[in-house]
Structure formats: structure tokens, C-alpha cells
Chains A and B, each alone.
Chain A
Amino acid sequence: MLFFSSSLYISMYCLLPDFKLSNAYNFNLTCTKAASIISSRSMDFPSTLFVPSRTMGTYEPIHQIGLWGENFKSIGSPNISPSVIFDVANKLENESETTSHELLAPSSKYDQEASKPFDKIQRRLAQNREAARKSRLRKKAYVQQLENSRLKLIQLEQELERARQQCLYAGGAIEVGHLGISGALNSGITAFEMEYERWMEEQNKQICDLRSALNAQISDIELHILVESGMSHYLELFRMKSSVAKADVFYVMSGTWKTSAERFFSWIGGFRPSELLKVLVPQIDPLTDHQILEVCNLKQSCQQAEDALSQGMEKLRETVSATLASGQMGQGTYLPQVAMAMEKLEALVNFVNQADHLRKETLQQMSYILTTRQAARGLLALGEYIQRLQALSTVWANRPHGPAKLTVENVR
């Protein structure tokens, strides 16, 4: 086993006529690396010849080193005069762009003794260099292939987008719904989704504020400010929904921006107000008798309005279906039917707006019936209920196959 300290080599390297201090660091590194590499190889020859690597930036003519052999034990001796030049093994070479090294030219002094093992090591070096070169070429080819595929993908995406636009405007296979939409609709939805993300962040912050405020027993005046922010925050959501409904009413109907459990309870693009009342009223206890009566009436009127809208929606579905199915089928021509159905479908925007109007009104009426403190508790309960639905969606999505197990890892 060869033992040598890298610091020793640096000091030895200093003996070279063209010694550069800047190379010393690299040299040190390569020494250490080379040491581990060389020591792991079978040592069938005592001498080791070293060539400076190009990474070290040295291009000096190679200096032959003396044989180590028996001199091995005297490695610690400061009297060793010959400089040491390292051969950086192929493992180090792979990171460089070098293609060829200056071959070691055995000095005449060592000819007879060093030539045989020298040839062997030369062959090995050449093989390693060749392998490294091939590896680099393979890598280059692979990267080239990746680049080409990437370009192809971009081209295909552009073609697809163009084809979609053509379909939409030429009236061929008309795709309605947010999967096959034009750029204008897309940007409306993208804008909404970004806004909603921010809205949700603000919502969660407000819930935290409400929670701490109610626990801290702050004054009614301060609580009123929080309640007002909460109310206007919901009004902001309705404004956002109204805007995106104009761009794509089906997007609002599908509730795509919501989590799966929220969508499960979806009624014309949002929650059913009467359902929410059922959830929240027990949280706002205690209520005065008068309040109980008013809330009861509100719940009933809400349900009646919901029923009326639901039946109106059912009528709309029947109308669109009947219009679309009118005339003969089987000929593959349907543009007149589709055009007529489009007209009918425009009423859907009105229904979505009406449903949101109902939600707004319910919220408004509750704020009239309740005290500030009760309203705060109501808003907090509403926020937490939605958070629970969102948590349910996450846990459901991550459930293991088999019986659902609620573990710490599942719940975020």
C-alpha cells in the first residue's frame, strides 16, 4: 500500500521550475484523489509515474520521478529530491474536456527497468481515455436527442392549440367547456384561479384572526370590524364568480377550483344556503326566541327559493336537451340544433347569478338577525366547516387502498 501525504507532494512540487501556487490547491485535491485511486489498485509494480492533469492548468513538460520502490519507507524523509508528478486517473479525467494527454516519455535513465510495467500502464491509460471519450460522446448524443424531443413537443403543442382555435371558430366539432377553450376564456379562468388562491389565503388568515379575537374577548366594536371584513370578503368572492361566469359559465358550474368534497355538495356553482344554515345555526347558540323564529323563517324561504331555482334548472336541461335532439339524427349534421341550443343555454348564466344572489342574501339576512358576537362565531364556523371539507378532500385523495385509516401521515 502506498502512503503519501498530499502536503508532501506540494512541497515536492515546489521544486519544479515552473511551479504555480494557484495549481497547488488543485494539485492537493488531485493528490488526495489519486492517492485513494492508486492505493486501491493492485500494486504489481513498485514505481508509479505521474503526469500533471490539464485541469491543473499545467502544461509543463513532464518530469520523471524517481522510483519509489524501496524508497517507500523513506517517504517521510525531506531528502527526497525528485518532484512528483501525478497521473490523474480516468475518474478525474471524465470531468475535463481533455482528449489526450501527453504520454509519458520514459527517460532514458529508467528505460530498462521501467519499460515493461510502463507499457502495461500505458495501455490501461489509453483504454481508460478511450472509454471516457466514448462516454462523453454518448452523453452528447443523448442530450441532443432530448433537445430535439423538447422542440418537437413545443411544436405539437402549438399545432394542437391552433387546431383547437380553428375548431372553435369554424363551428366544426364545437367544444364547450373549459377543456377546449380559446385563449380569451382561458385567461379569464387563469385570472380567477390566481385570485381565488389569494382569496383562500386571506380567508384562512381571517379565520385565525376571528378565532383569536373570540378567545381573547375583544370588544364588540373591534369584533364588528372583523365581521365586516369577513362579509365583504365573501362579497368579493361573489364578484369574482360573476366575472368568470360571463367568460365560462360551465367552469363555475363544475366548481373546478374547489376541492373534491366541496364539489360533492355543489348546487348551481356553490353551496346550498339552507344546508349551510343547518350547519352553522347550532354553532351560534344560544339564540333568543325571536332570533330562532327569524332564522327558521329564513331557512324556510331559502329552501323554497332553492326549490324554485332547482326546478327552473331542470326545465332548462329539458329545453336544451329537446332542442339538441330535435330534427333527424344519423346524418351527422347538427349545426342548426347546436345554434338553437346555444341560445337556450345562455339562461344558465342567469341561474348561476341567481344562485349566488341567494347566497349573498342569506348571508346578509343572517347578519341582520344576529348580534356581532354571534355573527363572528357564525363566520368562524363557516370558515372552519370549509376547512374541514378541504381536509376531507386531501385525506380522501391520499387514502391507502383498503379500509380508510386516519393516521398522522394522512392528515396535513
Chain B
Amino acid sequence: MDKVMRLASERGVVLFSKSSCCLCYAVKILFQELGVTPTIHEIDQDPEGREMERALMRLGCNTPVPAVFIEGKLVGSTNEVMSLHLGGGLIPLVKPYQTLC
């Protein structure tokens, strides 16, 4: 839990993912399209992965991954990220971190 909270409250856009998860891959692609490079933590490759998974669930995610945090605040999973983006609310949040070529 501590590890998750610590990692999540890092600056910028944080994404908890699993290397095998294709939906997580889709979220990565979306950020890429927006010119954002999130900090990605592949919890299936982390020794404390199981613990982190449980922690994420306790934080209110239906599925542990993908889980997006911006400025230490939980945005949510794919559903929430999509809704936010269509509603026009995602870009303002990630604007400071956009590196547009």
C-alpha cells in the first residue's frame, strides 16, 4: 500500500499496468497520442506485485490495472480515462506534461 501511495503521488502522470494486459497497452497508446509520457509501473514485473494489486483494489479500482494517477490523484481505469477524455477533461489535466513534437 505504501509503495503504491508513494509511487502514485509522484509528479505527473502515473500508470499502473501489467505487461501482458492489452487494455493497459491501449491506455499507453492514448497517452502517446496526447504527447504524454506517463511513468509506467508494470506490477507483474515487480516483486511486490501482489501487494500492489491488492492496494490498488482497495483504493477503489474495479480492476487493479490499468490505474491512472495524475498529480497524486486517482483518475481511474480505462472507463474513467475515456469518459474524461471525451468530455474534454483529460487534456487540461495532462497539459503540463505534454511534450508535443
Contacts and interface: CB of A to CB of B under 8 A. Distances in A.
Nearest to A294: B88
A308 B29 CA distance: 5
21 contacts: A294-B88, A297-B88, A298-B88, A302-B86, A304-B30, A304-B34, A305-B86, A307-B30, A308-B30, A311-B25, A311-B26, A311-B29, A312-B22, A312-B25, A313-B22, A315-B26, A347-B22, A354-B79, A357-B79, A361-B82, A361-B87
Contacts, number: 66
Interface string A300-334: 01101101110111011001000000000000000
Interface residues of A, number: 26
B17 to A, nearest CB: 12
A365 interface: yes
Given A304-B33, A305-B30, A315 B88 contact: no
Given A304-B34, A308-B30, A311-B29, A319 B82 contact: no
Given A311-B25, A354-B79, 14 more contacts: A297-B88, A304-B85, A307-B30, A308-B27, A308-B33, A312-B22, A312-B26, A315-B26, A319-B20, A347-B22, A351-B23, A354-B26, A357-B82, A362-B86
Nearest to A302: B86
A312 B20 CA distance: 11
B23 A354 contact: yes
Interface string B68-93: 00000000001100110111101000
A304 B29 CA distance: 9
A145 B72 CA distance: 79
Main SS class of interface, A: helix
B22 A315 contact: yes
B40 interface: no
Interface extent on B, as a size class?
Answer: 20 to 34
B21 interface: yes
A344 B21 CA distance: 9
Contacts of A365: 86-87
B33 A307 contact: yes
A350 interface: yes
Nearest to B87: A365
A358 interface: yes
Interface in B14-53: 20-23, 25-27, 29-30, 33-34
Contacts of B27: 308
Contacts of A309: 26
A307 to B, nearest CB: 6
B46 to A, nearest CB: 21
A358 B88 CA distance: 14
B22 A319 contact: yes
Interface string A268-301: 0000000000000000000000000010011001
